[in-house]
Each structure stands twice: as structure tokens, then as C-alpha cells.
Structure 1
Amino acid sequence: MNRLTDQTLDIESLIAQTDDPDCGALVVFGGAVRLDDGVKAIDYTAYAPLAEKALAEIEQETLQRFDIRHCRLVHRTGLLKLGELSVVVVVRGGHRGPTFEAARWAIDTLKQRVPVWKEEYYLDGRSTFVEGQHIQEKSEN
């Protein structure tokens, strides 16, 4: 099961992968490239083995921390244009409260821990790498 892909993210497929008649709650979060400070595109890169491992660990931690049954995280790599999804979180559980909490925790943790780097391309022709939090710094906190 790939958690890191250079293909367009298919939300319907991710929902189908977590289908469960015992779950009354489904939360889907999609993060998309937005026109922010003149950004027209973002190029996401990652060290795949480490990113895949981190995504799998976050899925497992989410399942352990919250009263849910399924958690699926997928992050995109490559050059994405405005409106394209860069990340999708799918969480299913018995009730909405823990399911919403789990989805929020999962995306927040993903952004802190998963080694994915982004280079933003701007309307004026510039590009810059976005400075993120170092993995070591997060593990010390």
C-alpha cells in the first residue's frame, strides 16, 4: 500500500479502501495547493523509504490514540498546480467526535514528522524552498 505517490490522489479509492459497515463516521481531509503569497505551484520531494515509514507509523499511532477503526494517509510528490491535492487523510470510526479528533491529529502530526520538502513557484517567476521543522527538533520536543 503506497502512502507516497506521484499520481493524482483519488479520494473515492481511499474511501473505498476503508469501507466498513461498523463505522458510522467518515472524515476526509484534503490539502490542496492554494494561491497564497503569489504561489502558482509547489514541487514536493521526499526520501521515499523514510516518508513511507513515517506515514505508516502515524497511521498506527492514530489507531492507538483514538477510538477509530481506520486511518489512511497519502501524500503526493512532484509538481502540483493550484487546486491539486497534495495530501489526503481518511479516518473512519464509530462516532464523529473521535473520528474528527483523529483526522486533525493525523494531519498535524504528518506535517511535523514526514520528511516531505516543498519548493514553491511564484507568479513572478521566483521559487524558494519552504523551511520546515527538522525531524530531530520535533523528536526532542
Structure 2
Amino acid sequence: MRIVVQEAAFDFGAECDAFAADRADMGAVVTFAGVVRGDGGLDAMEIEHYPGMTEAALAAIAEEARTRWSLGDVLVIHRYGRLAPGERIMMVATAAPHRADAFTAAEYLMDYLKSRAPFWKKEHRADGTAWVAARDADEDALSRW
């Protein structure tokens, strides 16, 4: 299991290749990358977090996924700082003997990262800045778990 919280951009392809390498015991590797949307005139997204606390929370979410599904490995990368539309904001990868566990665990991780991970997001637009409030749809997604 690897949890990374960083300001710098990451190479999605290189991370996928490294995660999937030497996985002869795993029948499935699922990857997901979240990208900053530029809709509605967004100029930038600023993400803040508390070092140490954030990594611990992400590790707990990943460990929960490992106990609920038969996972061989988990990778979570999440960025902070100022990000422009089109930049990758996060990545989740899961490896499992069977695809159902890999897909389901990846969805679980994405839902929990979106709504429970201790990150605070501020949108920067031409008309000002505003903190992003929790969305009902994101909270509703948790009800299936």
C-alpha cells in the first residue's frame, strides 16, 4: 500500500506502469485519475490539507478497502496546492485477484476520497474565490457502502 500527498504533478502513465509491474498473482489492476474540471469559468482550484493527518486518514480509508475486498495492493496519490483546469488532482489504483474486487474497491476509495478525505478546496474564478461546499450527490454516494 502506498499513500502519497504531494504538491508536484505526477506522471499517471509511469505510476500505472510501476503499480502494475510484476503482478502475476493479480488478475486485475484498476486505475483512476481525477482531473480538475474547467467548467463554469474556473481559473484554478486551490487545495489545502493538514500534513500528517491527511496521510493517516487516506491510509485508514485504503486499509478499510483492503479488509473489505480481496486486494493485493492499493495506491492513492492526491495533490494539494494551486491546480489549473486539466491538471490531475488525484489517482487511485487497486490490484486484486479478480476484477470485481478491484473495481469495487476503487469506487469505494474514490467515493470516500471525494467526501471524507481531509482536503479543503477553494475555487478561483474571474469574479472571486469561494470554498467548495460538500455536495449532496457526493454524500449520497457513500450510502451504498
- Report the TM-score range of the alignment, normalised by the length of the smaller protein: 0.7 to 0.9
The one-letter amino acid paired with 2:115 is Q
Matched, 1:80 2:86: no
RMSD: 1.8
Long gaps (5+) in structure 1: 134-140
Matched, 1:9 2:19: no
- Deviation string for 1:74-112 (max 9, x for gaps)? 110011001101110011111211111000001101122
For 1:95, which of 93, 98, 102 is the aligned residue? 98
Deviation for aligned residue 1:13: 3.9
Name the SS of the counterpart of 2:39 in structure 1.
coil
For 1:110, which of 109, 113, 129 is the aligned residue? 113
Deviation for aligned residue 1:2: 5.3
TM-score by length of 1: 0.85
The equivalent residue for 1:138 is none
The equivalent residue for 1:67 is 70
TM-score by length of 2: 0.83
Count of residue correspondences:
133
* Cα distance in 1 between the residues matched to 2:44 and 2:65: 30
The one-letter amino acid paired with 1:127 is T
Q: Do the aligned residues in 1 keep the contact of 2:45 with 2:84 (CA within 8 Å)? A: yes
Long gaps (5+) in structure 2: 136-142
Q: How does 1:46-57 map to 2 (within 5 A)?
A: 46-57=49-60
* Cα distance in 2 between the residues matched to 1:2 and 1:72: 6
Q: Do the aligned residues in 1 keep the contact of 2:72 with 2:96 (CA within 8 Å)? A: yes
The equivalent residue for 1:127 is 129
* Cα distance in 1 between the residues matched to 2:20 and 2:57: 20
Identity %: 32
